[in-house]
Amino acid sequence: MNEGRKIRVRAIRFSGNERVSSRRLRKAMATKQGGWFTAGYYRPEVLEEDVERIKGVYRLEGYSDVQVGSDVQFEEKKRWLTVAMTLEEGSRYLVGEVAFRGASQIPQSKLMDRLKLLSGDPFSQERLFQDVSAIQAAYFAQGYMTAEVEPTTALSPRTQRVDITYSVTEGSIATVGEIIVRGNVKTKDVVIRREIRLSPGERFDGEKLRRTKERLYNLGFFEEVTLETAVSDLPDRRNLIVTVKEAKTGEFSFGAGFSSLDKLIGFAEIVQRNFDLFNWPTFVGAGQELKFLVQAGTRRRNFELSFTEPWIFNRPYLFGFDLFHTERTSGEGFSFDLRRRGGDLRLGKTLGEFDRVGFMYRLERVKVSDVPDTASSALKDELGDNTVSAVRLGYVRDTRDNAFNPRKGYLIDTGIETAGTFLGGDKDFLKWTGSASINFEPLVENQVLELRLNLGLADELSGSKAVPIFERFFAGGADSIRGYRERRVGPHDTVTNDPIGGEAMAVFNVEYTVPIVDFIKGATFFDVGNVWNRVGEFGQEGFKSGVGAGVRIKTPFGPVKLDYGFPLNPDSGERKSGRLHFSASRSF
CA 365 to chain centre: 35
The Cα 512–Cα 439 span in angstroms is: 10
Eight-state DSSP code of residue 105: S
Strand 237-246 to 558-567 pairing = unpaired
pLDDT score at 2? 47
Which amino acid does the sequence have at 44?
P
Q: CA distances (Å), 97 to each of 62, 120, 443, in order?
A: 15, 9, 28
The three-class DSSP label of residue 378 is: helix
Please state the domain count of the chain.
4
Residues 82 and 98 in one domain: no
Which phi and psi angles does 378 have, rounded to 5°? -65, -40
Termini Cα distance of the chain: 51
How much is the CA Rg of the chain, to the nearest whole Å? 30
pLDDT tens column, 35-83:
776 778 888 999 999 999 999 999 989 998 899 999 988 876 667 889 9
Does a structural domain hold residue 240? Answer: yes
Q: Is the dihedral of CA 472, 451, 555, 323 positive or negative?
A: positive
Same domain as 163, residue 103: yes
Residue 500: pLDDT band with limits 50, 70, 90: confident
What average pLDDT does this structure show over 516-522? 85
DSSP result, 312-364: BTTBSEEEEEEEEEEEE-SBTTBSSEEEEEEEEEEEEEEETTTEEEEEEEEEE
> Any idea what the CATH number is for the domain that residue 133 is in?
3.10.20.310
**DSSP string computed for 200-256:** TTSBP-HHHHHHHHHHHHHTT-EEEEEEEEEE-SSTTEEEEEEEEEEPP-EEEEEEE
In this prediction, residues 261-269 reach a mean pLDDT of 61
Phi, psi of 470 (to 5 degrees): -80, 0
Q: Identify the domain boundary among 169, 201, 223.
A: 169
Residue 586 — very low, low, confident or very high, per pLDDT cuts 50/70/90? very low
CA geometry: angle 370, 372, 464, nearest 5 deg? 75
Reading across the β-sheet that carries 148-156, which strands appear in turn? 94-101, 161-169, 148-156
Q: Domain for residue 440, yes or no? A: yes
How much is the mean pLDDT over the chain? 87
Long-range CB contacts (within 8 A, 24+) of 105-113: 105/139, 105/142, 105/144, 105/170, 106/138, 106/139, 106/142, 110/138, 111/135, 111/138, 111/166
Looking at the fold, whether 204 and 149 belong to one and the same domain comes out as no
> Could you tell me if residue 2 is inside a domain?
no
- Quote the DSSP letter at residue 123: P
Residue 205 has pLDDT above 50, yes or no: yes
Domain annotation covers residue 465? yes
Identify whether residues 275 and 385 lie together within a single domain. yes
In a domain, 3, yes or no: no
CATH code, 352: 2.40.160.50
Q: Which of 137, 169, 201 is the last residue of a domain?
A: 169
Contacts of 472 (CB under 8 A, 6+ apart): 458, 500, 501, 502, 503
Q: Nearest to residue 53, comparing CAs of 43, 42, 66, 40? A: 66
Residue-wise pLDDT for 275-330, tens only, equals 998 888 888 889 899 998 887 776 778 899 999 999 998 899 999 999 999 888 77
Q: What angle do CA 346, 349, 355 make, to 5 degrees?
A: 115
Distance CA 108, CA 330 (A): 67
281 and 152 in a common domain: no
- The stretch 438-460 carries a mean pLDDT of 91
Task: Give the structural domain span for 20.
Answer: 8-88
- Is 188 in the same domain as 260? no
Q: Is residue 575 part of a domain?
A: yes
249 contact partners, CB below 8 Å, separation of at least 6? 186, 220, 221, 272, 273, 274, 284
Does residue 338 share a domain with residue 236? no
Please report the pLDDT score of residue 265 as a whole number.
60
Task: Provide, rounded to the nearest whole percent, the portion of the chain with pLDDT above 90.
Answer: 49
Residue 1 located in a structural domain: no
What residue type is assigned to position 18 of the chain?
Answer: E
Same domain, 195 and 162: no
- In a domain, residue 140? The reply is yes
Domain final position from 134, 169, 204: 169
Do 367 and 344 belong together in one domain? Answer: yes
Residues 150, 202, single domain; the answer is no
User: What pTM was estimated for this model as a whole?
Assistant: 0.74
Burial class (CB in 10 A: 0-12, 13-18, 19+), 93: buried
Ramachandran assignment for 501, one of left (phi > 0), alpha (psi -120 to 50 degrees), beta (any other): left
Instruction: Give yes or no: residues 322 and 265 share one domain.
Output: yes
Q: Is the pLDDT of residue 233 over 70?
A: yes
On whether both 12 and 112 belong to a single domain, the answer is: no
